[in-house]
Structure 1
C-alpha cells in the first residue's frame, strides 16, 4: 500500500493546481447558464480570488469564495470541480466525490475532471470505480503513458496481475523495453513463483543491454534462488572475469558462498564489497546491517575485521552508522573502553543522538562505574533536551549507591519536566522509582501517592503494582487493595518469584497461612538465581512458623536465608530465639 501514498499525493497536487489552469484556458467546459456582464464580472472576481487563496493554502477561505460564485452560476463545471477539490482539501472526501462526479457527468470526456475523480476514488479505496475511470481514460487517451501506469497500479492493488502484465506488454510496445517495466513484471512473476517467465524477462533486457552486468547478476541471483547453484556460480565467474572490480557481484558471491555453507569465502566477498570504491555508502550500510553478525563471528579474522571498520571510517568519517558498527564490534570483543571512545567520536558528529548516549551509559552501568555514568548522564541531559530516560538512569544509579536523597532530587527534577510527548510508560517507571525511594526514606504517604501516579499513567506497570502492594503489606495498609494489585502481577507472570513472594506475604499478613504457604513455595520453585533468595526464604520461615506445621523446618529455612547473605538483626533474633511467641 505504500505506493498509494505516493500516487495519491501526486494526484492531490494535480487537484490543487492543474485544474485551475484548465478552467482559465476554457478547455471546453460547459456553461449551462448565461450571465449578464455584471454577473460575469462578479463571478470572475470571486473565482480568481478563490484560486489565489487556494494557491496560498487557505482552503477554507478559498471554499467560501467559490461558494460566492455558486450563488451566481451553480452549473459552471469548472466551479463545481474547484468546490469538490476544496472539500477534499478540507477533509470531506464523500462530498468531494459527489461534486467531482457531477463535473464528470457534465463533461464526461474531460481528462482533468476524470483524473481528479479517479484520485478521490483511490483515496476512498473505491478501487472498482477507480478502475472503471482508468480503463475509460486509457481507451480515450491511448497515447498517455500515465493512463497505463495508474491502471497497472490499480490492477496490482486488486490482485488482477494478469491484466497488469498485459498492460506492461502494451506499454513496452509503445515506449519500448525499459528497466522499470521489466523489473515490475519480474516482481509479479516471482510473486506467483513463475521463475520461467521471470527468467525470460531478464533474458530480454540482457539482450537489449548486453554490456550491462547488473542484469546478468540479477539472472544469476534468480538461478541461485531456484536452487540452480552451479549455473549461478558459472555466470558469477563469467561476470567477474569481464568486470573483476564489480562490487555487486561480490555481494552476490557472498550470498552464494553462504548458501553452499562456506562462511570464510562468504566473508571474503563481503569484505571486498565493503572495501570497494564503486559501491555507494547506503549499499555498504545495507551490507553491514545484513552481515554484521557473520562479521562479528569471524573470530579468526579479528585483525582484518577491525582494519575493515577503520578503513570505512577513514572513507566516511562523518557517517554515524559506520562508527556505530565499529563500536558494536568492539563491544563484541569485550573492549568496552575502546567502544566508549568510538561512541564519543559519534557524539562529536551528532551530540543529540540519544541512542549513542544511552550506549555509553549502559556500558558504565554494566561496569558499575557509577561516577562515569553520572557524569555522562549529566552531559546527555544537557545535549538532548532533558531526555527522561537519562534521569531514570541517573536516579537508579543514586539508588544503587544508596544516595537516596540525591535519587529523590533526580526523580523530582524529572517529574517537573514531564512533557505531553513523553512516553507514558517511561513516566510511569520514574514515578515507580520515586515511590521506591520515598519508601527507603520512610515517607510512606508520599510513596503511595507516587505509586498511584505510576499506575494511573500505565495500568500495566507490574513493578509499580508489585511494589505498591508489598509496601501496603509491610505497612499494614489496605490489604484487600494490595491483594487485588498483587493478583494482577501473578496472573500476568505466574512464574515470577518476586511477584509470588509478594502475593504470599499479603496472605500472611491477612492470616491466611495455607494460601501464603502455597504461593511462597511456588516462589521458591521458580527462583532463577540467588538474587532476592534471602528475603523469600525469610518469609517462608515466618509462614511455616505461623502455620505451626513444622517449627524445625522454619528454623532450618531461616538459617538458610541468613547464610545466603540476608543477615538482618530481625532474622538473627528469630534464629537465636528459635522463633517467637505465637
Structure 2
C-alpha cells in the first residue's frame, strides 16, 4: 500500500484530535466562515458518481507523480478544513479532487466516507469506508467508521461482521468485544452476546458491567439460577456496596422466592440499617406473605426517610389513591402522605399529593391547607390553584375564594375556570355587577370548550335575572341549553324564573317536566315543576308533584308551597298546618307568619 507523506499524516492527526483548534486555525488561514449544514444537492451527488469510474481505475492506475501527490495533499488539506467548518459540499469537492489524483490513499477514502456520513449520504459513506478498510486493513478507525455506517442504517449483522474482522485482524483490538456483544444484544441474539461477553471476561477479567449484562441475558433466557449466580458474583466483588445485595433481594421477590428475599434483605439491613430501599423490599415481602401490619410498618419506615426520593413516594401514593375511597386503607394513606411531607418539607409535590389524598377522603380543610403550602413552595401549577378554589367554594369560604382566584388570575389570566369561580365568589358576596364582569370575560375564553361555556351561560342567566335584565338572562339560558338540552341547572332555574315572572309558562312547564322525567325523585326539581303548574292554576298537578317531593325532603320552602297549593284547593285547615311546619323547618318566606296568623294566602 502506498504510504502517506508525513504532511498528509499530520493533517489526518489534526482531524482526529480536535475540531475546535482546527476551526480557529482555518479562520485565521483562510478567512472562511462556517456554512450551515445541509444535504448535498442533486448536482453535487452527480459529481460523486465519478467515484465509480475512479474506483474502477484504481485497480490499474499508476503511482501518482511527486507533483500529483503534492497536489492531492493540498486538496486533502483544503477538504479537511472545509469539513471542520461543516461546509460539506466544498469539503467533498476538494476531497474528490484529492481522490482522483491518489485513489489508493486510504486516508482520503476515509475522509470522504466521514463527510458523506455527516451529510446523511449513508450509501456512499459505506462504500468509501469499505475502500478505506480494504486499502489499510490495520487501521482501527477505518473499521469503526464502517461499523458506524452499518449501525446507523440498522444493518446490525454487517456491523457485527466489521467488529469481528477488526478484533481478528487488528492487534490489541479485543476491547471491541464489548461493542460486538452490545450489537448482538441489539439484535436479540442473546447466546452470541453471552459468548462474546465471556470472551471479554477471559481477556480482561470479570467486571461489574459484564456481570450485570450477563445477568440480564440469563433472565431473558429464563435461567434464574445463573442470573442469581451472577448476582452473587457482583455481591462478592463489591462487599461494601449494598446496591447489589438489594438487587439480588429484588430478584428473589420478583420470582416469588420469599424466604430467600427475606434473608438477603435482612443481610442488606445489617449492612445499612437506614436504607429505605431495603425497607421497601421488606414491605413487599411481608405483603406477599399476607402480613399486612408488618408490611405497613416497613413502608412507613421507608416513607419517613428522606433518602427515599420523593418521586418514588409519589408513585406509591398514586397507586394507593386509585384504591380510594376504601375505609381499610384511609388511615394508612393519610399516614404515608403525612410522612412524605415531613421527610420533604420543601417539596411542593409532597404537599400537593397530601392534598389529593385528603380531598378524596373528604378532609377538605386539611386538603386546602396542604395545597396552599404547596403553592407557597411553587405557585406555578394551575391545577393546584384550581383545587384550592374548588375547596373554597365547597367550604363556602367566599372571601378566600375571591382572594385566591384573584391571586391565581395574576399568574393565569387566560384560564377560564378561574374567571368562573371568581364570578361565583362575587355572586355569593351579593356583588352581581362584578360577577357579570368576570363571567362575561371568562366566557370569551371558552370558545373551544362548549361544556364550560354552558356553565358560564347558566351562571350568567342567574346573575342577569337577579339584575332584572331578563332578556340577557333568557339569552344566556338558551345558549346553555343549545349546547346541552338536558342541562339540569339551566332547565331548573330558567323554568323557575319564568314562573316567577309569569312568562312563557308553557315553555317553563315543558322544561321543568323534562327535568322531572330525568330526576323523578329530586325534591328541588319537583318543587320547580309544581310551582310552574301552580302558576298555570293546575293545583291538582302541583299537589301531586309536591307530595312526591315531600317524601324525600322536609324543606321549609317545599312545605310553604304545599300549604299554598292546599289553600288554592279550598283546604285552609291543612294549608295552615303545612305553613306551621314550614315555619318550624326554616327557609320559609317572609310572609309565613302573616299566612299563619290570618289563615290567608299572601303572595
TM-score when scaled to structure 1? 0.61
User: Equivalent residue for 2:118?
Assistant: 86
Please tell me whether residue 363 in structure 1 is matched to residue 388 in structure 2: no
Separation (CA, whole Å) in 2 of partners of 1:525 and 1:18: 87
Q: Say if 1:159 and 1:397 are closer, same or farther in 2 by CA, change over 3 A.
A: farther
Q: Say if 1:124 and 1:562 are closer, same or farther in 2 by CA, change over 3 A.
A: farther
User: Equivalent residue for 2:187?
Assistant: 158
Deviation of residue 48 (structure 1)?
1.0
Q: Report the 3-state secondary structure (helix = DSSP H, G, I; strand = E; otherwise coil) of the residue aligned with 1:177.
A: coil
Deviation of residue 163 (structure 1)?
2.0
User: Equivalent residue for 1:468?
Assistant: 483
Contact 2:282 2:295 (C-alpha < 8 Å) held by counterparts: yes
Q: 1:320 aligns with which of 338, 348, 353?
A: 348
Separation (CA, whole Å) in 2 of partners of 1:70 and 1:529: 88
Deviation of residue 51 (structure 1)?
1.0
5+ residue gaps, structure 2, are 1-11, 22-54, 101-107, 465-470, 492-509, 570-603
Separation (CA, whole Å) in 2 of partners of 1:198 and 1:230: 18
C-alpha distance after superposition, 1:278-325 (max 9, x if no partner)? x6352x541453257669966667997677346414xxx322233334
User: Equivalent residue for 2:371?
Assistant: 343
Separation (CA, whole Å) in 2 of partners of 1:354 and 1:365: 17
Deviation of residue 332 (structure 1)?
5.6
Q: 2:125 aligns with which of 82, 90, 100?
A: 100
Separation (CA, whole Å) in 2 of partners of 1:142 and 1:396: 80
C-alpha distance after superposition, 1:96-147 (max 9, x if no partner)? 2112112212212454455445445545544444444444445456855773
Q: Say if 1:151 and 1:353 are closer, same or farther in 2 by CA, change over 3 A.
A: farther
User: Equivalent residue for 2:494?
Assistant: none
C-alpha distance after superposition, 1:348-392 (max 9, x if no partner)? 322223333233233224334344233222212323574555446
- Structure 1 window deviating more from structure 2 (391-400 vs 367-376): it is 391-400
Q: Say if 1:74 and 1:226 are closer, same or farther in 2 by CA, change over 3 A.
A: same
Please tell me whether residue 188 in structure 1 is matched to residue 203 in structure 2: no
User: Equivalent residue for 2:582?
Assistant: none
Separation (CA, whole Å) in 2 of partners of 1:197 and 1:531: 70
Q: Report the 3-state secondary structure (helix = DSSP H, G, I; strand = E; otherwise coil) of the residue aligned with 1:280.
A: coil
Question: Aligned ranges for residues 35-434 of structure 1 at < 5 Å?
Answer: 35=68, 41=74, 44-45=77-78, 47-52=80-85, 54=86, 62-69=87-94, 72-73=97-98, 76-88=108-120, 96-108=121-133, 109=137, 111-112=140-141, 114-116=143-145, 118-119=147-148, 121-140=150-169, 147-241=176-270, 243-276=272-305, 280-282=307-309, 285-287=311-313, 289-290=315-316, 308-309=339-340, 311-313=342-344, 317-331=345-359, 334-384=362-412, 386-387=414-415, 390-391=418-419, 393-394=421-422, 409-410=437-438, 413=441, 431=453, 433=455
Count of residue pairs brought into register by the alignment: 462
Q: Say if 1:438 and 1:378 are closer, same or farther in 2 by CA, change over 3 A.
A: closer
Separation (CA, whole Å) in 1 of partners of 2:154 and 2:418: 44
Deviation of residue 198 (structure 1)?
1.5
Q: Say if 1:139 and 1:467 are closer, same or farther in 2 by CA, change over 3 A.
A: farther
Contact 2:352 2:371 (C-alpha < 8 Å) held by counterparts: yes
Deviation of residue 37 (structure 1)?
5.7
Q: Say if 1:77 and 1:200 are closer, same or farther in 2 by CA, change over 3 A.
A: same
Separation (CA, whole Å) in 2 of partners of 1:396 and 1:138: 75
Q: Say if 1:40 and 1:182 are closer, same or farther in 2 by CA, change over 3 A.
A: closer
Contact 1:399 1:437 (C-alpha < 8 Å) held by counterparts: no
C-alpha distance after superposition, 1:462-511 (max 9, x if no partner)? xx9x74374xxxxxxxxxxxxxxxxxxxxxxxxx997xx9xxxxxxxxxx
Deviation of residue 268 (structure 1)?
1.5
5+ residue gaps, structure 1, are 1-16, 55-61, 89-95, 419-423, 452-463, 471-495, 502-516, 542-550, 578-582
Contact 1:83 1:99 (C-alpha < 8 Å) held by counterparts: no
Q: Report the 3-state secondary structure (helix = DSSP H, G, I; strand = E; otherwise coil) of the residue aligned with 2:84.
A: helix
Contact 1:537 1:561 (C-alpha < 8 Å) held by counterparts: no
Larger Rg: 2
Separation (CA, whole Å) in 1 of partners of 2:189 and 2:410: 56
Separation (CA, whole Å) in 2 of partners of 1:164 and 1:402: 76
Separation (CA, whole Å) in 1 of partners of 2:113 and 2:69: 23
Contact 1:127 1:154 (C-alpha < 8 Å) held by counterparts: yes
Question: Aligned ranges for residues 377-526 of structure 1 at < 5 Å?
Answer: 377-384=405-412, 386-387=414-415, 390-391=418-419, 393-394=421-422, 409-410=437-438, 413=441, 431=453, 433=455, 442=471, 467-468=482-483, 470=485
